[in-house]
Structures are given as C-alpha cells and as structure tokens.
Amino acid sequence: MVQKMKRYRIYQVDAFTTEKFKGNPAGVVPDADGLSDGEMQCIARELNNSETAFILSPTDPDHDVWIRFFTPTTEVPSCGHATIAAHYVRAVENQMNSSTLRQRIGIGILPVDVTKEENDYTIQMTQGDIEFYPPLAASDCEQLLVHLGLVQEDLDERCPVQIVSTGHSKVLIGIKSRKRLNSLSPDMNGLSTLSESIGCNGYFVFTLDSKSSDIKSHGRMFAPAIGILEDPVTGNANGPLGAYLVKHRFAEHDGNVLSFKAEQGEAIGRSGIVDVTVKIHNGNPIQVKVGGRAVIVFRTEIEM
C-alpha cells in the first residue's frame, strides 16, 4: 500500500525589517506535525537560511505552541529572528488580534507578545535567563583577535570580551569603530576551531559608534561552527548585548528599564533593526525582550 504524502506549507520571511530582502531571512513551516527530526533537518538544509522554525502542536497545557529551530547543519535551542518570523506567519495565517501566548522552545516555556498594528504585526519575545561568564582568557582572546583580523587597539577598552547568554550564548566583542566593524573579514575555520575550546559558537562584534540618535549599537555575528558564516540580524546576540550594557553601565536608563534599537546587517546589505528591552532591578539586568517587524517574501508547498 502506497503511503499518502502530506503537503506542508513553507514560508520565507525576512525578520527585523518591513522591506523584502533586508533583515534576516528565516524559513517557517507553520504546520510541522508529522515531520521527523531528519526531515526537519533536510528542509532547513534545503532552504539554507541561518535558521528555519518548525511550528508544532503543544504537548502540554502549559504552553500554546511548540517551536523547534534548525540551522542547515544542526538543531539549536533558541533563535530570535526565526521566533519573530514564526509568530508573524502564525499571526497572519490566523488573523490574530493582539495577544500574549506561551511558546515552548529548547530553553523552556517563554511568553511572546503579538501586537496588531493596523493590518500588520509586531512580535516581541521574552528571552531566557541571563548568564554572564568570566571574561575570555587572555590566550583565547589573542586567538580570537587573530581570527577576526583585529588588533588590541581596535577593542573598546571599556568592554570586556566575554560570553553572555539569554538562552543561546554569544561571545561579545566591543570595538571602537563602525568603519572597522564593516570591514571585518574573519577566518571562519579559525573561529570554528576556537568554538570547540571555549564552548561557544557565536561571535558578536559590536560598536557603540553610532551616528544616529535612534540607534544605540551596530553589530555583526559569526557562527561558522554551526553552519552560519554570518547571521544578518541576531535576536540572540542583541538581547545579551542589552544585558551586557546594563551590567557594565554603558547605557543610561531610568533604573527600571533600558530600551534601545540595535542595527545589524549593514555590511552585507541586509540591514535590520532589533528593539531591545531590558528589565532592571537594583542596577542589574533581570530580563531581556527583543522584538521587531517582519515581511513574508514567499510561500510555497512541498509533499513529504
């Protein structure tokens, strides 16, 4: 007996932008029930975005939706831009009103806010627990600079090079110049090798050298060890950056909340804006949210 094939909808969505071919592209499969792990990985590899989100039915009453994220080579526990993309597609397909829902992802169950604005949507996700690791060892930092093509003088001396996580850790590297940021051409093999020894796959190079009063920071993110040479706009990098800016007193705030816009992707022609909100208690960051807009580039179907 021939097994009946199931038809799956697949979207390509640009997140953290309202312009097609800007921001960060993510694949979204909005009704992924029935796909095996291997099939999800194959779809993610075929789409070849930094991440593809697979929306699944909830498994318990404590959450409304279950989402899994795959890079072209592996599953990852959390992804900012693919979360924005997934909930944008879900909102459009279901013509949702403004609401808050609970999503199950690899790091736990966290809320997502869907805000309807005229005929469009803004999505804001609460990220996971904030973790600060000790500054990178001097020997690791030296290797990192070599692989990034930087020298010590390029670094912003105020900014310790350290791993920070809000669910999916990144090495934060602060440098002085936006021009230098946009000229980087890293040694991807070297960064992949270093990832094995420091236990972190993502390198987020940022600068506070901004010419716009609306934009607090500019950044670039490289994660070759998990198949992402450069990620255009990264929620799981700009979120930790927000916590980092509060912890190290690099940003003015009212004592309760820091809110700012971060730009990423300029150097590769895919500029996007991340809205970062950090909740603060006794001068320390205690919760991070990232949000933004999205636009559907195309929709197709496959049979599997």
- pLDDT (tens digit, 9 = 90+) per residue, 190-220? 999 999 999 999 999 999 999 888 999 999 9
Active-site residue, 51 included: yes
Has residue 1 got a pLDDT over 60?
Answer: no
Token pair, residue 226, equals 């998990």
Has residue 2 got a pLDDT over 70?
Answer: no
Phi, psi of 74 (to 5 degrees): -160, 160
Has residue 104 got a pLDDT over 70?
Answer: yes
- What local confidence, expressed as pLDDT, does residue 40 receive? 98
- What local confidence, expressed as pLDDT, does residue 213 receive? 87
Q: What is the mean pLDDT of residues 250-279?
A: 97
Answer left, alpha or beta for residue 92, where phi above 0 means left and psi between -120 and 50 means alpha: alpha
Q: What is the mean pLDDT of residues 102-107?
A: 97
- What local confidence, expressed as pLDDT, does residue 211 receive? 86
Q: What is the mean pLDDT of residues 51-65?
A: 97
**What mean pLDDT is reported for the chain?**
96
Has residue 4 got a pLDDT over 80?
Answer: no
Percent of the chain exceeding pLDDT 70 equals 99
Q: What is the CB-side half-sphere exposure of residue 180 using CA atoms within 13 A? A: 20
Question: Which parts of 50-176 fold into alpha helices (H)?
Answer: 80-94, 138-148
Q: Which residues in 227-236 are b (16+ Cβ under 10 Å) and which e? A: bbebbbbbbb
Strands (E), the chain: 7-15, 24-29, 52-56, 65-70, 75-76, 99-105, 108-117, 120-126, 131-135, 162-165, 170-175, 202-207, 217-223, 228-231, 257-264, 272-281, 284-292, 294-303
Catalytic pick among 51, 131, 196, 230 = 51
pTM over 0.75: yes
Q: What is the mean pLDDT of residues 119-139?
A: 97
In 3-state terms the chain splits into helix, strand, coil percentages (rounded to 5) of: 25, 40, 35
Per-residue confidence at 245, pLDDT binned at 50, 70, 90?
A: very high
pLDDT single digits (tens) 138-197:
999 999 999 999 999 999 999 999 999 999 999 999 999 999 999 999 999 999 999 999
